[in-house]
Amino acid sequence: MSPSYAVADYWLAYLFREKDPAKSRQHLQRALDAAPNLVFPYRLETLPVLRWAGGQAEHWKTTYYLALVLWNIGRLDEAKSLFAELSNVPDWSPFYLARAKLLTAENDGEKILADIQRAVDLDKTNWRAWRALTDFYEKNGRLDLAMKTSKTVYDLYPEKSALAMDYAKALFYSGDFEGCLNVLERTTVLPYEGGWEGHDLFRRANLFGAAEALKRGSHKRAVLFADKAKMWPEHLGVGKPYAVDERLENYLLALAAEKAGNRKEAKKYLEAVAADTQKFRAGWSSEHFVSALAMKKLGREDEAVQLLNNWRKESGEADAVAGWAIAKLADDESAAAQALAGLKAGPGSARWDLGTGDRYFPLVLKIADLTR
């Protein structure tokens, strides 16, 4: 009753192997001739069928399908062995993406990159292969190459929001915040459960734009960016939550007001930052350093020190960001630089967040430099 499908033909070949050998060979050939696209065998019961088929006719598709079943049931070493056995024989792009995915846990960057590049070479229109290449370069700190690959595939498929997001992210990481925002402006991201990346990138690009504007002495432009960061554009697929943490926006607005000589306005924003500090204490992050800066400016230095000490107490001595924050608040530049050097030297240091996992930490570093 099944429609034509490779796994069904493998099964029919297996079931007819004794009753009707000619029919069995016919179905096995159909299975081998069928395109592997969207063929995902996963059942334990299919193992003997594929092992039998492999004994009847050697073909990379049978080995690949067998590896998929083993992968699904957790027999990873056997699956990896079969994938490795096939070397560069398959002429099908997704095979190499699958193998790269399977090898991810081994952290063998050279093999993973080779497989992804082969996937691209076999099918230049495979946007998933291009996207995997961009992701690999980004995670390994090769941001110039991530920019190149993301731009290439975005030009091919500008209507795909995932590719637009990758390109916007590459522009962001390269420091082209306005370019990033321009791409986001013409991209529609459909809402989905857990979808936060669109707005998060929009917010970060505007916040960095504000910080850069302040660095150049343009407080009016900084206000435009910071105010825009508070927006929740509908086309980015995320609705505004009931409670929003706007400490970064408000602190940058406070700095802009200071630059403009408006102390009353600056104090208003600093108080807003301090007020939000207790509201958003679910987890520790570099944003609490900004809270401490606001408290210090408001003359509440003891409260600021206590906040950061609580962070260190709860997160432990190993939290280098907390150590940096405490040193920086105390104006101990030597200790702060030492903490930062440790982050740069650590695993994953080539990544945008210096391996901290705190995506706002690079912005907080800029804010720290802007605060005098």
Parse the chain into domains and list their residue ranges. 6-136, 188-277, 283-372
DSSP letter string, 244-295: ---HHHHHHHHHHHHHTT-HHHHHHHHHHHHHHHHHT-SS--THHHHHHHHH
Residue 345 has a pLDDT of 58
The string over 93-109, giving b where at least 16 C-beta atoms fall within 10 Å of a residue's C-beta and e elsewhere, is: bbbbbbbbebbeeeeee
Q: What is the mean pLDDT of residues 282-294?
A: 91
Residue 346 has a pLDDT of 53
* Token pair belonging to 102: 């399977």
pLDDT over 70 percentage in the chain? 97
Q: What is the mean pLDDT of residues 15-43?
A: 97
Residue 350 has a pLDDT of 55
Cα distance between residue 366 and residue 372, in whole Å: 12
Q: What is the mean pLDDT of residues 65-90?
A: 97
Residue 329 has a pLDDT of 95
Are 2 and 45 contacting, i.e. CB atoms less than 8 angstroms apart?
A: no
Short-list 139, 118, 144, CA closest to 129: 118
DSSP letter string, 75-97: -HHHHHHHHHHTTT----HHHHH
CATH code 3.40.50.1980 for 6-136? no
Are 256 and 217 contacting, i.e. CB atoms less than 8 angstroms apart?
A: no
Average pLDDT of the residues of the chain = 93
Give the predicted TM-score (pTM) of the model: 0.87
Q: What is the pLDDT of residues 106-154, one digit of tens each?
A: 878 899 999 999 999 999 999 999 999 999 998 888 889 999 999 999 9
pLDDT over 90 percentage in the chain? 81
Cα distance between residue 83 and residue 57, in whole Å: 18
H helices present in the chain, as ranges: 6-15, 21-33, 46-56, 60-72, 76-85, 93-103, 109-122, 127-139, 143-156, 161-173, 177-185, 197-215, 219-229, 247-259, 263-279, 287-297, 301-315, 320-329, 333-345, 361-370
Q: What is the pLDDT of residues 212-235, one digit of tens each?
A: 999 999 999 999 999 999 999 999
The string over 259-280, giving b where at least 16 C-beta atoms fall within 10 Å of a residue's C-beta and e elsewhere, is: beeeeebbbebbebbbebbeeb
Q: What is the pLDDT of residues 169-205, one digit of tens each?
A: 999 999 999 999 999 999 999 887 777 899 999 999 9
Cα distance between residue 268 and residue 282, in whole Å: 24
